[in-house]
């Protein structure tokens, strides 16, 4: 029969998960309620199933077998809660490594002569992106940043003046006003960029249309079209021709910007 190690007293975690122990067979070397509770507490502290099992003197395979049991719902929930608590500690450890680095020994001729501190920049970028997404989140990748060249200097000068003014008001017993600080950098999303591009194109087309001047060819075509509409009326006005007048003499010709005489037509010069 396999002998179990003497269970060690687990350290009490910051959050003690509560659950209903699984009703296992009452064996002195089995998963008693005390061992189940001790396992959950150790798991919340270290986050490692194998290490938690060693602390209570049980095997890893038996822990997973107990977790798979149908009546172990509360035990599974406490297990997951313990992992969540351990993840918070892992996050703290990751922050410590990102801030202070990891010391690695330096050897010379087989002897340690010192140590070198290494910082994991990828870990730092990961923590910044997901722990401070407002500033470093993935959403900013497709945005365009806009800021005045002296925006940071102006914001610093304004903030410094506010600090001094508010300090004097507080010292005099006055009321310190609430101030809203506008960000110095504005991020424009891809959707906003597309809308701005469409608006700019529409304004460009309108400006081009307002400043458009007809070409000589377009002016000639407009005059010919007007003449074709007038000539049928000339053929029906025989009396006017007999009196020495012409229908074209009574036409009020519009003023075209590029008007000129059309060869072979009755348009005035």
Question: How does residue 166 score in pLDDT terms, banded at 50, 70 and 90?
Answer: confident
Same domain, 5 and 88: yes
Question: How does residue 242 score in pLDDT terms, banded at 50, 70 and 90?
Answer: very low
* Residue 223: inside a domain: yes
* Residue 200: inside a domain: no
Q: Which residue has the higher pLDDT, 244 or 92?
A: 92
Domain that holds residue 123: 101-138
Q: What is the share, in percent, of the chain residues with pLDDT greater than 70?
A: 71
* Residue 107: inside a domain: yes
* Domain endpoint, select from 72, 94, 116: 94
* Residue 12: inside a domain: yes
Same domain, 90 and 1: yes
pLDDT at residue 198 above 70?
yes
pLDDT at residue 267 above 50?
no
Q: What is the pLDDT of residues 32-50, one digit of tens each?
A: 889 999 999 999 998 899 9
Question: How does residue 231 score in pLDDT terms, banded at 50, 70 and 90?
Answer: low
Question: How does residue 8 score in pLDDT terms, banded at 50, 70 and 90?
Answer: very low
Same domain, 45 and 134: no
Same domain, 1 and 89: yes
Q: What is the share, in percent, of the chain residues with pLDDT greater than 90?
A: 19
pLDDT at residue 82 above 80?
yes
Contacts for 19 with CB less than 8 Å, ≥ 6 apart? 36, 40, 74, 75, 77, 78
By C-alpha distance, which of 90, 181, 86, 81 is closest to 131?
90
- Cα 16 to Cα 78: distance, rounded to the nearest angstrom: 10
* Residue 76: inside a domain: yes
Same domain, 41 and 112: no
* Residue 234: inside a domain: yes
* Domain endpoint, select from 79, 114, 138: 138
The count of structural domains within the chain is 3
Same domain, 70 and 119: no
- Cα 215 to Cα 152: distance, rounded to the nearest angstrom: 52
For range 244-265, the mean pLDDT: 47
* Residue 171: inside a domain: no
Same domain, 86 and 108: no
């Amino acid at each position: 029969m396999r002998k179990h190690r003497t269970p060690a007293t687990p350290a009490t975690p910051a959050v003690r998960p509560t659950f209903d122990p699984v009703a296992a067979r009452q064996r002195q070397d089995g998963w008693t309620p005390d061992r189940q509770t001790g396992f959950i507490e150790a798991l919340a502290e270290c986050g490692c199933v194998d290490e938690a099992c060693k602390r209570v003197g049980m095997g890893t395979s038996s822990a997973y077998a107990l977790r798979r049991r149908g009546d172990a719902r509360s035990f599974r929930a406490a297990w997951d809660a313990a992992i969540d608590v351990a993840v918070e500690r892992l996050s703290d450890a990751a922050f410590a490594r990102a801030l202070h680095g990891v010391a690695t020994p330096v050897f010379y001729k087989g002897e340690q002569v010192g140590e070198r501190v290494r910082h994991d920049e990828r870990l730092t970028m990961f923590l910044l992106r997901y722990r401070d997404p407002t500033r470093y989140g993935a959403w900013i990748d497709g945005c365009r940043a806009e800021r005045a060249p002296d925006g940071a200097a102006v914001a610093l000068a304004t903030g410094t003046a506010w600090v001094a003014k508010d300090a004097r008001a507080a010292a005099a017993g006055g009321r310190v006003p609430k101030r809203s600080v506008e960000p110095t950098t504005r991020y424009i999303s891809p959707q906003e960029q597309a809308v701005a591009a469409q608006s700019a194109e529409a304004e460009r087309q309108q400006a081009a249309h307002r400043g458009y001047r007809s070409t000589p060819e377009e002016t000639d075509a407009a005059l010919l079209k007007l003449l074709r509409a007038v000539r049928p009326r000339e053929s029906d006005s025989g009396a006017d021709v007999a009196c020495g007048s012409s229908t074209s003499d009574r036409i009020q010709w519009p003023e075209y910007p590029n008007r000129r005489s059309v060869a072979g037509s009755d348009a005035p010069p």
